[in-house]
């Protein structure tokens, strides 16, 4: 029986310990530089933090993966290679990468260190997965959040590697690895600087009635007092379109796969990933505990498994925006 590995986010050492303590099978982390796609001030690990985090995970028989998932820039490839060197020295259980130059470097320099294809690699068909397996020894791929459940099922039958899917967290309407929308406002894209909206370009303005947010001077949203305000990105901003103020591209919402957890396990999907390295340790702990409880319940009795109301309510309280969705998974016509 396949029980998917629960892979949880750790933007800080405290979040890493919270995830491990609440039942994560593995955590994924990044170093404090632009080599990872959550390159925000105050987040991520030093080399010493990483070594300590790996020891903490291994002492509890869990795993630690390093996100090395942005694209190396011309003339600066050595910075990405150095991050891979640090990951290997710290004993991580796998690197998660998208750039084929970095995958090749890791395959040649550290052949025993497993390589996972990042969602930023944007691989959505069997031929692309086979390419990464044959040329770079990739053993797992994190699938973009644009595939329907039926497509994931067919892909699992043809794939040359294990598959990992996102299970909870912020949902992106774009195809991961192919979005450069924020670069039109900030001059840098998430694939190059590691953040959709670089912190240096974000400005919050408070007054008695509203909280406004600007990206490089562009007003992208305004929130009423008490209204949830997520991290500002252009795709989730509100704009006036045909005299109507609305979410022009995507309304903030959270992916939640609890209703199809059993389907994913039977496919079989080898790992379920929680989004949110930018989230707090308490958020990570609560989401991890709920997903751990659901996976354990499925393991005890797959035939009788059903989603409990307290799990749904618990995740609903942690959602981005005001709703949850199965996203592209719920497209039976595809």
User: Closest Cα to residue 291, out of 322, 255, 266?
Assistant: 255
Give the pLDDT confidence score for residue 103 in this predicted structure.
Answer: 98
Q: Look at 186 and 23; give whichever has higher pLDDT.
A: 23
Instruction: Provide mean pLDDT across the span 114-120.
Output: 96
**3-state DSSP assignment of residue 134:** helix
C-alpha distances in angstroms, 33 versus 13, 47, 89, 194, 278?
16, 11, 17, 8, 14
Whether residue 145 has pLDDT greater than 80:
yes
Count of residues in the chain: 334
> Under 8 Å CB-to-CB from 59, ≥6 apart: which residues?
none
Whether residue 51 has pLDDT greater than 80:
yes
**3-state DSSP assignment of residue 312:** helix
**3-state DSSP assignment of residue 114:** coil
In the chain, pLDDT over 70 holds for what percent of residues? 96
Query: What is the DSSP code string of 257-275?
Result: -GGGHHHHHHTT--EEEE-
Q: Name which of 253-262, 264-273, 279-288 the model is least confident about.
A: 253-262
User: Closest Cα to residue 50, out of 82, 90, 83?
Assistant: 90
Q: Look at 280 and 326; give whichever has higher pLDDT.
A: 280
Report the mean per-residue pLDDT for the chain: 91
Burial 281-297 (b: 16+ CB within 10 A, else e): bebbbbbbbbbbbbbeb
Q: According to the CATH classification, is domain 5-171+253-329 in 3.20.20.70?
A: yes
Give the pLDDT confidence score for residue 228 in this predicted structure.
Answer: 75
- pLDDT band for position 258 (cuts 50, 70, 90): very high
Tell me how far apart the alpha carbons of residues 148 and 331 are, in angstroms, rounded to a whole number.
5
In the chain, pLDDT over 90 holds for what percent of residues? 66
Long-range contacts of 180-186 (CB under 8 A, 24+ apart): 181/234, 181/235, 182/215, 182/233, 182/234, 184/234, 185/215, 185/216, 185/218, 185/234, 186/215, 186/216
Residue range 222-244, pLDDT digits in tens: 988 878 777 788 888 888 888 88
Domains in the chain: boundaries: 5-171+253-329, 183-247
SS3 content of the chain, % helix, strand, coil (to 5): 35, 20, 40
Whether residue 76 has pLDDT greater than 70:
yes
Instruction: Provide mean pLDDT across the span 131-146.
Output: 96
- pLDDT band for position 171 (cuts 50, 70, 90): confident
Tell me how far apart the alpha carbons of residues 257 and 165 are, in angstroms, rounded to a whole number.
10
Instruction: Provide mean pLDDT across the span 128-145.
Output: 96
Residue range 63-73, pLDDT digits in tens: 999 999 999 98
Residue range 313-334, pLDDT digits in tens: 999 988 876 667 877 778 766 6
Calculate the CA 47 to chain-centre distance: 21
DSSP state, residue 31:
B
Q: Look at 14 and 183; give whichever has higher pLDDT.
A: 14
> In 271-308, which ranges are continuous DSSP H helix?
281-300
> Under 8 Å CB-to-CB from 239, ≥6 apart: which residues?
220, 245, 246, 248
User: Closest Cα to residue 158, out of 129, 120, 118, 132?
Assistant: 129
Q: Name which of 83-87, 184-188, 296-300 the model is least confident about.
A: 184-188
Give the pLDDT confidence score for residue 323 in this predicted structure.
Answer: 67
């Amino acid at each position: 029986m396949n029980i998917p590995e629960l892979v949880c986010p750790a933007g800080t050492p405290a979040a890493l310990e919270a995830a491990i303590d609440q039942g994560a099978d593995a955590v994924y982390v990044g170093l404090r530089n632009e080599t990872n796609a959550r390159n925000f001030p105050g987040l991520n690990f030093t080399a010493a933090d990483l070594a300590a985090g790996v020891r903490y995970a291994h002492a509890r028989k869990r795993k630690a993966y390093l996100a090395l998932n942005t694209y190396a820039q011309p003339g600066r490839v050595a910075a990405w290679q150095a991050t891979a060197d640090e990951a290997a020295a710290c004993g991580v259980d796998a690197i998660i990468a998208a750039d084929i130059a970095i995958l090749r470097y890791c395959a040649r320099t550290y052949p025993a260190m497993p390589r996972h294809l990042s969602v930023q690699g944007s691989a959505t068909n069997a031929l692309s997965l086979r390419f990464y397996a044959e040329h770079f020894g990739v053993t797992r791929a994190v699938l973009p959040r644009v595939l329907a459940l039926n497509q994931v099922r067919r892909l699992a039958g043809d794939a040359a590697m294990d598959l990992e899917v996102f299970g909870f967290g912020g949902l992106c309407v774009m195809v991961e690895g192919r979005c450069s929308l924020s670069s039109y406002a900030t001059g840098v894209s998430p694939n190059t600087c590691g953040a959709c909206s670089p912190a240096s370009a974000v400005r919050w303005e408070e007054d008695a009635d509203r909280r406004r947010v600007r990206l490089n001077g562009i007003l992208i949203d305004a929130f009423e007092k008490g209204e949830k305000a997520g991290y500002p990105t252009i795709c989730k901003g509100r704009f006036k379109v045909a005299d109507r103020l609305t979410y022009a591209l995507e309304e903030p919402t959270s992916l939640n796969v609890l209703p199809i957890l059993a389907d994913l396990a039977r496919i079989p999907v080898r790992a379920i990933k929680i989004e949110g390295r930018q989230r707090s340790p308490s958020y990570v702990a609560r989401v991890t505990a709920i997903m751990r409880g659901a996976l354990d319940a499925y393991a005890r009795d797959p035939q009788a498994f059903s989603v409990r109301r307290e799990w749904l309510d618990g995740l609903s309280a942690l959602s981005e925006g005001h709703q949850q969705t199965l996203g592209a998974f719920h497209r039976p016509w595809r």
